[in-house]
Amino acid sequence: MKPILCLLITILCLAAHPLFAQDIPRVRQTIDTLTGPYFHGRGYIFEGDARAATYIQDRFTQAGLKPIGESYFQEFTMPVNRVTESPELTINGRNLTPGTDFVASANTASGKGKASIVYLDTLVFNNAATAQKFFSQDFRKKAIVYPQNFRKQVQELPAPYLQKILSAKLHIILQPKELLTTVAASPAPVPILEVKKTAWPADAKKIKYKITTHHEPTYKTRNVIGFIPGTTQPDSFIIFTAHYDHLGGQGKAVYFPGANDNASGTAMLLELAEHYSKPENKPKYSIAFITFAAEEAGLLGSLHYTQNPLSPLQQIRFLVNLDLLGTGDDGMMVVNGSIHPTEFELLKSINSKYNYLPQLKMRGRAANSDHYPFSERGVPAFFFYTLGGTTAYHNTQDKSQQLPLTKFREVFKLITDFAADLQL
């Protein structure tokens, strides 16, 4: 059978079967799209976040969601340190590959040139004589190399030593395992590269590097919000949230796809939007769908929303935040499970009745995703993330191809059953 025809039949069968109310090929398509080069990591350069917001707006429109107010967009500004060109690093004449062997640290300053290597020894932190000798050197033509676990100790050095170490041309931080990056609001006073330990040659002596950044104090981004009015209780809201942003990229050659984090949760939210838009699933209460920007920059999108809500926060009966839903071999974590025991018990009873997930774990408050600013303002909220499977996180390996979507369908069923049984 021709692949297209085969795919078409699969899609038709899945759509016709009530068990597959949400459509896994479409979910995969959503995640493939959001992690593609056009969106460039959904943040901060080459309009990645703006393009993703437009894509979500189009999906909201197709699903028939209504905007709250005049537009689906809620704009705000944030400070961000952007790495605008792919970083370059040559060690002993050999080029390392950006994104694979190394990345620029999120808070790097710009810089370029040549430097010789000096290693920071652990004795510098606990032997006064060694420290004094070490810091008497001239670092201005040096690249200082130290492991990730020294980072905090470096920041806590006594002021004169810290000043000295910041006079170096470059800092190189060796990552013991995978590269792990983030988003920073502003640059450090020195250029910083993060290199995978396995890519760092033991005989490294001379390096050449180039890092180009731009600090934007008022970068404009946007949350995307749509809703379905309730048929009998329109003033009561259930809210589904997911951040659509990720870490963006470093120039043209490097971007962070963010398949699990959080194309997976965005895809789940879009499936829920499709589901509740169907005439047979129209909800009694209103359901709002919020995809946040700038979660990776420190929950800035959700913080902005809670400070500027489009409908009163008191009307939110429950909020479910979806972030990292691409696995599930080991079940799912329910953040705030211990704070809302009645709702957690409800989830557990549904889960054991239908055997959706191998286990539901719970934890208390955690400022680890967009539910948090709502929780802090008294909105009852859970944050779901699946457990097990891929470990790719905050690097170039969080790709769609490696995301198994093991329990995506089951999580979808659990969420819709939970929303149906919630006592509002």
Residue number with CB closer to Zn ion (212 or 264)? 264
Separation between Cα atoms, residue 36 and residue 31, nearest integer Å: 8
Neighbours of 298 (CB within 10 A): 14
Distance of closest approach, residue 93 Cβ to Zn ion, in angstroms: 36
| 59-82 burial code (b ≥16 CB/10 A, e <16) | bbeebebebbeeebbbebebebbb
Contact 293, 53 (CB under 8 A): yes
Alpha-carbon separation of residue 194 from 105, 112, 169, 211, 338 (angstroms): 6, 15, 15, 12, 38
Residue number with CB closer to Zn ion (67 or 298)? 298
Distance of closest approach, residue 312 Cβ to Zn ion, in angstroms: 29
Residue number with CB closer to Zn ion (49 or 261)? 261
Residue number with CB closer to Zn ion (41 or 187)? 41
Residues 6+ positions from 260 with CB-CB distance below 8 Å: 324, 325, 326, 327, 390, 392, 393, 398, 403
* Strand bridging mode 360-363 / 332-335: parallel
Residue number with CB closer to Zn ion (85 or 261)? 261
Residue number with CB closer to Zn ion (261 or 410)? 261
Residues 6+ positions from 305 with CB-CB distance below 8 Å: 74, 223, 225, 290, 292, 373
CA triple 38-48-387, angle to 5 deg: 90
Separation between Cα atoms, residue 381 and residue 3, nearest integer Å: 43
Residue number with CB closer to Zn ion (143 or 254)? 254
**Which tokens go with 221?**
């981004």
Residue number with CB closer to Zn ion (105 or 416)? 105
Distance of closest approach, residue 117 Cβ to Zn ion, in angstroms: 32
| Chain residues that interact with Zn ion, rule: CB under 5 A | 261
Beta strands, E only, 68-150: 73-83, 88-91, 94-95, 102-104, 111-119, 142-147
Nearest residue to Zn ion by CB is 261
Distance of closest approach, residue 242 Cβ to Zn ion, in angstroms: 12
Counting every residue written for the chain, the total comes to 424
Residue number with CB closer to Zn ion (88 or 261)? 261
Distance of closest approach, residue 394 Cβ to Zn ion, in angstroms: 6
Neighbours of 290 (CB within 10 A): 26
Distance of closest approach, residue 137 Cβ to Zn ion, in angstroms: 38
Residue number with CB closer to Zn ion (65 or 320)? 320
Residues 6+ positions from 218 with CB-CB distance below 8 Å: 77, 78, 79
Q: Give the position of tokens 């993330």.
A: 385
Distance of closest approach, residue 18 Cβ to Zn ion, in angstroms: 34
Distance of closest approach, residue 296 Cβ to Zn ion, in angstroms: 5
Distance of closest approach, residue 6 Cβ to Zn ion, in angstroms: 35
Sign of CA dihedral 306, 309, 314, 315: negative
Distance of closest approach, residue 54 Cβ to Zn ion, in angstroms: 21
